[in-house]
Amino acid sequence: MPYANLNAELMKTETNYSPAVICYGEILWDVLPDGPQPGGAPLNVAYHLHKLGVGTSLISRIGNDPNGAALAGLMKGWGLDKSLLQTDEQHDTSQVLARMNNGNEVSYEIVYPVAWDFISENTVLAAQVSAAKYLVYGSLASRNEVSRQTLFRLLDNTSAIRVFDINLRPPFISRALLEVLLGKSDIVKFNEAELDVVQVMFGGYYQGETDKVHFIQDKFDVQEVIVTKGEFGASYYTDQAFHIWSTAIKVMDTIGSGDAFLAAFISSHFNGLQPQEILKNAVGMGGFIATKKGGCPGYSLSEYQNFKNQLFDQ
C-alpha cells in the first residue's frame, strides 16, 4: 500500500510530533437540514490525510463554547493532532448554514466573524510550519486581517510546498487577496468554475482549459495546477498535462468531496507516485466520499481502495 511508505520521524510519538502536512484555516459546524456535521475545508483535508496515514496537524481556532468543545472532542476521537488548535475567549465557534440545491449541490451562508478569523501566530506554530513538508491553505480563512496576516507570515517563512485550494466562497472574494495568495503558492487547486472566474479576474479570456491553466501558471509562476471536474474526473498540469476521466456514481452529497480529493492528491504526491496514479487516487477518493454523508465520514482504507478499483475497472 503506497500510504504506508512514510518517514518514521514524521509520525506521531508521545514526546515529539513533526507533521508532514499542516492545514491552515476554518473549522466549523455545517448546519444541514438533517443536522450538524463537522466541517471546514482544512479540517476535512486533515481528516482524510490522517486516515491515509500522513502525519497531519490543523491550525485553526474554536470558541470557548460547547460547539468548540465538541469539535475538539471529535479531533481527539479521530486521533487527529490538535496541538495547534487555538481557543478564543471572545468569539464563537464557527457555524455555516448549508442548504442542499437540486438534491446534491450545496450552498453556504458563512457566519462572520467567528473564532477562526482570529488565528494568532506563536513560536510553536511557526516552528511546526517551518518543519512541515506541505502547508495547505485556502482563501476563506484570509477574510479577516488577523488570520490573514498570520497566514502571510507563515507562508513567507517556510520551505514547505505551499498548496493553495482556491475554494471561493462569496461574498468573501477579493482580487487583491487572491493575487497575493496565488503569488505565494507552489500547487493550486481549482474546480472548473473557479478557474474561469480567476483567469477572467486577472485579465485572461481564454476558452480552452489548457490555455487558462498556462495563463495562471505564467502570471503567478505556479509550478503545479489541479483542475477538478466532478464526475468527469480531473486534470493535473506541471510541465506536462495529465488527465483522468471518471464514471458516474451514486452521489449521497458533495460536501467535502473536493477536500477528500486534495487529501489523496497530497498523500500520493508526498509518497512520490507518478502523476497518473496521483490523479487516480485523488479522483477515486473524491468520488468515494461523495457516496457518503458529510465531509468526514467513517471508512476503512480497504473500502476506499475497493471503490477506486471498481471505479476505474469499469
Residue 5 lies in a domain: no
- Looking at every residue in the chain, the average pLDDT score rounds to 92
Residue 136 lies in a domain: yes
Residue 45 lies in a domain: yes
Answering whether pTM is above 0.85, one says: yes
Residue 255 lies in a domain: yes
* Total number of domains in the chain: 1
75-96 mean pLDDT: 97
Residue 3 lies in a domain: no
pLDDT level of residue 32 (50, 70, 90 thresholds): confident
266-288 mean pLDDT: 98
Per-residue pLDDT of 186-232, as tens digits, reads 999 999 999 999 999 999 999 999 999 999 999 999 999 999 998 89
Residue 4 lies in a domain: no
The answer to whether residue 1 scores a pLDDT higher than 80 is: no
Residue 13 lies in a domain: no
The CATH number linked to 167 is 3.40.1190.20
CA 111 to chain centre: 20
Residue 7 lies in a domain: no
Instruction: Identify the pLDDT of residue 82.
Output: 95
The answer to whether residue 54 scores a pLDDT higher than 70 is: yes
Domain containing residue 29: 19-313
260-281 mean pLDDT: 98
The answer to whether residue 71 scores a pLDDT higher than 80 is: yes
Residue type, 146: V
Lowest mean pLDDT among 50-59, 106-115, 230-239: 106-115
Strand extents, DSSP E, the chain: 21-24, 28-32, 35-39, 56-63, 85-88, 94-101, 105-110, 134-138, 161-165, 187-191, 224-228, 234-237, 241-244
The answer to whether residue 3 scores a pLDDT higher than 50 is: no
The answer to whether residue 9 scores a pLDDT higher than 90 is: no
Residue 173: exposed, middle, or buried by beta-carbon count in 10 A (0-12, 13-18, 19+)? middle
The answer to whether residue 314 scores a pLDDT higher than 80 is: no
Give which of 156, 139, 73, 88 is closest to 118, Cα–Cα: 88
Per-residue pLDDT of 282-303, as tens digits, reads 999 999 999 999 999 999 999 9
